[in-house]
A and B are shown apart, each in its own frame.
Chain A
Amino acid sequence: MIKKRDGRRVEFDGNRIRTAIAKAYWEEEYSPDKKIPPYAEDIVQYVWDENEAYELGVEEIQDIVEQQLMKFEPAVARAYVRYRYRKECIREQKNEFFGLLGEKINATNVQNQNANVDEYSFGGRKGEADSIVMKQYALDYCMSDMARENHLNNLIYIHDLDAYAVGMHNCLTIPFDDLLAKGFNTRQTDVRPANSINTAFQLVAVIFQLQSLQQFGGVSASHLDWTMVPYVRKSFWKHFRTGLVYVEHRLNDLTPDCDIGDLSIESDFYDKFDAPNAYGYAMDMTERELWQAVEGMYHNLNTLQSRSGNQLPFTSINYGTCTLPEGRMVIRALLDGSIEGVGKLHRTPIFPCGIFQCMKGVNRKPGDPNYDLFKLALKSTARRLYPNYANVDWSGNAGYDVNDPRTYFSTMGCRTANGYDINGFGQLKDGRGNICPVTIILPNLAMLARQEYEKAGTRGDADGNSKSLWEIFMALLDQKISEAKDMLIERFEWICHQNPESAKFMYENGTMAGYIPEEGIRSALKHGTLVIGQLGMAETLEILFETNQCHPRGMEYAKKIEQLFKDRCAEYKQEYKLNFGVYYTPAENLCYTAMKKFRESYGIIKNVSDHEYFTNSIHVPVWEHVGVFDKIDIESQLTGYSSAGCITYVELETGIENNLEAMEQIVNYAMDHDIPYFAINVPNDTCLECGYTGEFNDKCPACGSTHIQQLRRVTGYLTGNYKTAFNWGKQKEVEDRVKHTGRMSE
């Protein structure tokens, strides 16, 4: 008997030694039919004898074989050592893999990669463990060496790698107009079209949830105010009929199935009844029903934990431009609902991410029809951080149709936006989304360029011409942008090869627009975007020029870098007929993990790696002391290069609730400076005893409780308490955030 590694005792098997020696002897040419060297028998006999004297373990046997081989044929002994070493590596890899898996299964090393996932929950532990396996599989079996190496070497990061192998896509703006009007199918049943505002809002939550299971990213509604108009009308008509019967007692005026179609609540159709009491009743009841419906939606979207990790779907709703009376009612209800908050303590709703669409002549200035709603939006933002502000007049959304709100600029809450579709949908947002993103980690390219520059020294290249650090960097960046494009095409092809049955809800109901079954799912996916993201502009400029984009010289080079991104994406878009776009990546987890790896390679460099995270895309670093308008000035010079999504935020003081005039000036300033997507960060600490909301860190100033929830913005969304939900790097980033107003200087 001998003793195996795992402690089991088994019969001595000489064949295992013979095979191992043969493998060492033949190396790559080995096959089971190859001759075994004659001395193998002597060695087997020797081991047998030793084992008779004293029961050996596997490692001891291998040591003896190695010594014996040295006597017979040293070259084979060396091959045997290499063979042993390789086997050892595989065992270690396996241990490491299962070690990681164990950490996730047991939640012993919680990283909070995604603030929306509870890594301690059953669902979270299972989901995170799955993710380890899926990531490894994707790296090993689904992509080219180029893609894998770029990812593993921290140069071009593949997002949501765990969703790669099964071929899911990222996010989608859902065509709610169609789904609510036509109804939809699920695996178990079908759902009839909505016939009241209450049902319509219920179905919005249901559809959000169903669609979010078909993909790995967020879901949005691009113009929910317009979408809901017909359902306000339907409800109004129902209530009016009830009013006629029970308030006015005029049963005979109606035929039971009289259908008014899509008639305005202000239509003179209602005047003809001459029933003011029924009309007043209908108005009152419709508003109540709408309020209840909206409140239901807010609660649903904060409670329907439907994905692995007990995640809520990432939901966003855009609204604000509808000037019809029904649309205005919806906008008001959405904002009132946001201000009201959810739960017993009226806490800030984390989902949906509300986005108010600012539009000239509609809601921007006194006298505009929805100006009152813009002011209400500001009130909500001051208290709830939502809504954010999308700029319908943004120059980058040129070519939209003013008569079609489905083409108005809208965003996925985090920042992702659907740009112009080269495959026929133009500026249409509905039914489109981001297919997949990659992110170029710019500071790593800058370090590689610097190393090459320093290596070349003054000697120059083969022709004696010395290239500047800038030229080396730009050449490398150009190469990496091209590789990023290839990586996106690789993944796009992989996604296109999936069976439509994998996302039946999406393809059967046309939530992703353009699907033609005979042509395969590519017919729908080709309208989505493929985006090249970026991380760490500020640190990159520090490496290259010891400055950043807050200073004119840094800005000059930042623009050149962005111009290259923009030009290349435009070229690829024409060449491949796919919607390549420049993306200012959220990088919620990457900002931290990329920095950890950067430090392992390069250590701590002043202004580059002396924080725990890389600065988001082209953002002004959070620690820079700049005023609120200066920050907008700086970022507005770069946001125009991004067609696939960006966000600009400013940090204000909590007291802003008492100064909505100032907020209005700030939001208007951002819109007037062509910022596409703007958000205001106000510290949002809520006392979980009394519900008081403000900025107070560890103790409630109203009741003294220390039971506090601290909400902060991450990417474009909010999450739960940042101190428990954010990863370490992001927590540090939050703590480093400098306020852009209220700072005393000389």
Chain B
Amino acid sequence: MRYAGIIYDDTAAAPGVCLSFYTQGCPIHCEGCHNADMWDEEGGLEFTPDVLDKVITGLHANGVNRTFCILGGEPLSPRNTFLTTLLVSTVKEKSPDTPIWIWSGYPMEEIIHTGNPHTEKLLTKINGLVTDPFVLAERDITLKFRGSRNQRVWKFDAEKNLWYNIEKEQERFSIDGNN
């Protein structure tokens, strides 16, 4: 398994100070991607168990509670789904109160209907999701948490078991796969 790197004190990803984990390898290849060096599945670094330890320690370093972010690369690509699931379940187990966010270039519709039980389970464990490919023509540097206007930011409502678009609340996906 490969990964690209970690930002231990990140203020540019999700709300609050984050620990951001960058996966390696992406099949989508958006034009204008600013992490193109993370496309190659064989690039980056070898993922070892001690990296997982560093992540867990890093989430609370200096006594500060960080949000855990997984970006890339494509965290939900077929090759990376296992690592992403491993990271999420480990963080959930060792640090249950840590909010988790994932950035994916796939549209929500595709993510939620993969039929992959790993992904389905994943979607009940995380708190935020930013979806859709980066579109250069839609690029807007003033946007919060994303690079182009077409990309959508979702939050998980654990009580109702559904994902909703933070800008259009009527756009929602129930986690059992029905809209």
Contact = CB atoms under 8 A, between A and B. Distances in A.
B173 interface: no
Contacts of A746: 5-6, 45, 51
A745 B17 contact: no
Contacts of B170: none
Nearest to B66: A665
Interface in A626-662: 627-630, 633, 652-653, 655-656, 658-659, 661-662
A320 interface: no
Given A744-B22, A745-B8, A701 B17 contact: no
B15 interface: yes
Contacts of B7: 741-745
Given A658-B144, A658-B145, A746-B45, A653 B11 contact: yes
B45 A655 contact: no
B24 to A, nearest CB: 12
Interface string B112-138: 000000000000000000000000000
Choose among B9, B17, B62 the residue with the greatest number of A CB atoms under 10 Å from its CB.
B9
Contacts of B17: 628, 662, 665-666, 741
Contacts of A659: 11-12, 15-16
A328 interface: no
B16 A740 contact: no
Nearest to A656: B11
Nearest to A673: B62
Contact of B61 (A629, A655, A656): A629
A632 to B, nearest CB: 8
A694 interface: yes
A742 B16 contact: no
Interface in B1-37: 4-12, 15-18, 22
A663 interface: yes
Contacts of B9: 627-629, 740-743
Given A655-B11, A658-B144, A745 B64 contact: no
A83 interface: no
A371 interface: no
Contact of B5 (A627, A665, A745): A745
A740 to B, nearest CB: 7
B107 to A, nearest CB: 23
A184 interface: no
Nearest to B8: A627
A633 B5 CA distance: 25
A425 interface: no
Contacts of A662: 11, 15-18
A629 B62 contact: yes
Nearest to A628: B9
Contacts of B15: 659, 661-662
A494 interface: no
Contacts of A702: 141
B132 to A, nearest CB: 18
B55 to A, nearest CB: 12
Contacts of B145: 658
Nearest to A701: B141
**Is the interface on chain A under 10, 10 to 19, 20 to 34, or 35 or more residues?**
20 to 34
A633 B64 CA distance: 12
Interface string A389-407: 0000000000000000000
Choose among B18, B51, B141 the residue with the greatest number of A CB atoms under 10 Å from its CB.
B141
Contact of A742 (B12, B61, B143): B12
Contacts of A98: none
B64 A669 contact: yes
A9 to B, nearest CB: 74
B36 to A, nearest CB: 15
B51 to A, nearest CB: 8
A204 to B, nearest CB: 35
Contacts of B22: 744
A742 B11 contact: yes
Choose among A652, A669, A701, A746 the residue with the greatest number of B CB atoms under 10 Å from its CB.
A746
A663 B61 contact: no
Interface string B38-73: 000000010000010000000001101000000000
Contacts of B5: 744-746
Interface string B130-159: 000000000001011100000000000000
B1 to A, nearest CB: 15
Contacts of A652: 11
A744 B6 contact: yes
Contact of A629 (B4, B51, B64, B144): B64
Contacts of B16: 659, 661-662, 665
Nearest to A633: B62
Interface in A335-364: none
A220 to B, nearest CB: 30
B38 to A, nearest CB: 11
A694 B140 CA distance: 13
Interface string A598-634: 0000000000000000000000000000011110010
Nearest to B143: A658
Nearest to A626: B9
Nearest to B22: A744
A746 B7 CA distance: 8
Nearest to A659: B11
Contacts of A745: 5-8
A295 B8 CA distance: 40
A662 B18 CA distance: 8
A737 to B, nearest CB: 16
B6 to A, nearest CB: 6
A743 B11 CA distance: 10
A743 B22 CA distance: 12
A687 B51 CA distance: 42
A652 B17 CA distance: 11
Given A662-B17, A745-B7, A746-B6, A653 B12 contact: yes
Contacts of A740: 9
B15 to A, nearest CB: 4
A628 B15 CA distance: 16
Nearest to A663: B11
A91 to B, nearest CB: 61
A743 B7 CA distance: 6
B46 to A, nearest CB: 10
Nearest to B10: A742
A625 to B, nearest CB: 11
B22 to A, nearest CB: 7
Contacts of A658: 12, 143-145
A665 B64 CA distance: 8
Contacts of B51: 746
Choose among B4, B5, B62, B145 the residue with the greatest number of A CB atoms under 10 Å from its CB.
B62
A629 B64 CA distance: 8
A746 B48 CA distance: 11
A688 B8 CA distance: 35
B128 to A, nearest CB: 13
Interface string A475-507: 000000000000000000000000000000000
Contacts of A701: 141
A372 to B, nearest CB: 18
B67 to A, nearest CB: 9
Q: Sorted from nearest, which 9 A-B pairs have the closest CB atoms? A: A629-B62, A662-B11, A661-B16, A661-B15, A744-B5, A658-B144, A627-B9, A741-B11, A741-B9
Interface of A: 627-630, 633, 652-653, 655-656, 658-659, 661-663, 665-666, 669, 694, 701-702, 740-746
Given A665-B16, A669-B62, A742-B7, 13 more contacts: A627-B8, A627-B9, A628-B9, A629-B9, A629-B64, A658-B144, A659-B15, A661-B16, A665-B17, A741-B9, A742-B11, A744-B7, A746-B5
15 contacts: A627-B8, A628-B9, A630-B62, A633-B62, A653-B12, A655-B11, A658-B143, A662-B11, A662-B18, A665-B17, A744-B6, A744-B22, A745-B5, A745-B8, A746-B51
